[in-house]
Amino acid sequence: MQLIFFILLIFSIILHEVAHGWIADKLGDPTARYAGRLTLNPLVHIDMLGSIILPLISILSPGGFLFGWAKPVPYNPFNFVRMKTWGEAFVAAAGPATNFALALMFAGLTRAWGDPLFASICFIGVLANLWLGFLNLIPIPPLDGSKVLGAILPNPLSRTYEEWRMRMEYNPFLGFGIVIVIVLLFGSVASSFIYTIASVLTGL
């Protein structure tokens, strides 16, 4: 099951990144398409640390938290010809939204087929995608939630937050360090919450 978890996790991370590039392309920025990143070929997206090493550590560690990423899909918001104000937030939100859609898809497959083995595999897919979706909504740069929050805050707060976010973007390892600390502190609570949601969605 750990191998299946790993495969589903990598598949979900890749779709998450492709979604960013696909939405950016629809808004008028072809950067990801020109870079050959609008593909499901895992070799194009895999980052050795974020896609292989950390996910394996997460899965193999007793009570470990789920953590991982693929190579970020490049995009240039200055190329947007539609939704110039909200475009970057929509590109960012596309990743977690894709994970939540995949979670619902796996939940539907779990309910549609009664085979216990297949249901357990789909349940893993639900868990992996709920984790990725909620994790990426944490509003700490460089995670997607930071761009979404910056777009929905009232103007005075938004300007202050965006200045802080831009400074943090230049030091992504600090941001990831903060996220890891948050997950370590609240990971067990988050795991119980996500497991409960997965159980409700799948009926297991």
Annotated active-site positions, please? 17
- In the structure encoding, which two tokens stand for residue 151, read together? 């777009």
- In the structure encoding, which two tokens stand for residue 50, read together? 């974020």
List of residues 6+ apart from 137 with CB closer than 8 A:
96, 143, 144, 145, 148
Give the three-class secondary structure for 103: helix
Question: What is the full DSSP assignment across 92-113?
Answer: HHHHHHHHHHHHHHHHHHHHH-
CB of 191 within 8 A of CB of 65? yes
Give, as one character, the DSSP assignment of residue 39.
S
Return the ∠ at Cα 98 (arms to 73 and 114), rounded to 5°. 135
